[in-house]
């Protein structure tokens, strides 16, 4: 049987916390030394959409009908309501409804 060491868990959580802090602080420090020109600005403007697409694409490939309906509903909600949080709520609600319907 494997022994469970609470101190080891705490040390792992602490190490992960330090790593996350250092990457975030390092990013701010590094970007403070970069001149943000038009090219870099375009990259930053495109980044949120690229992250969302990279997150949603695998879900669409594996999620089936419920994922497709959820993404379409969230997209329509975003077009009409223009609120991110509302689109997320609509997408989750549609996914739950489609799964509850057995599709």
Cα–Cα nearest to 96, from 63, 52, 58, 57: 63
Output the CA torsion 36→42→47→48 (10° steps). Answer: 110
Rounded distance, CA 88 to CA 73, Å? 9
Given a cut of 90, is residue 2 above it in pLDDT?
no
Q: What is the pLDDT of residue 26?
A: 93
Q: What is the pLDDT of residue 60?
A: 83
Q: What is the pLDDT of residue 1?
A: 52
Output the CA torsion 25→29→34→38 (10° steps). Answer: 40
DSSP code at position 55:
H
Mean pLDDT of all residues in 5-28: 91
pLDDT band at 64 (very low <50, low <70, confident <90, very high): confident
């Amino acid at each position: 049987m494997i022994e469970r060491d609470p101190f080891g868990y705490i040390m792992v959580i602490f190490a992960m916390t330090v790593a996350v802090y250092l990457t975030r602080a390092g990013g701010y420090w590094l970007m403070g030394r970069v001149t943000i020109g038009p090219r870099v600005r375009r990259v930053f403007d495109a980044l949120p959409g690229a992250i969302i697409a990279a997150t949603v694409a695998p879900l669409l490939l594996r999620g089936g009908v419920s994922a497709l309906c959820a993404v379409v509903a969230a997209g329509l909600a975003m077009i009409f309501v223009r609120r991110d949080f509302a689109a997320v709520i609509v997408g989750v609600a549609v996914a739950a409804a489609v799964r509850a319907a057995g599709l």
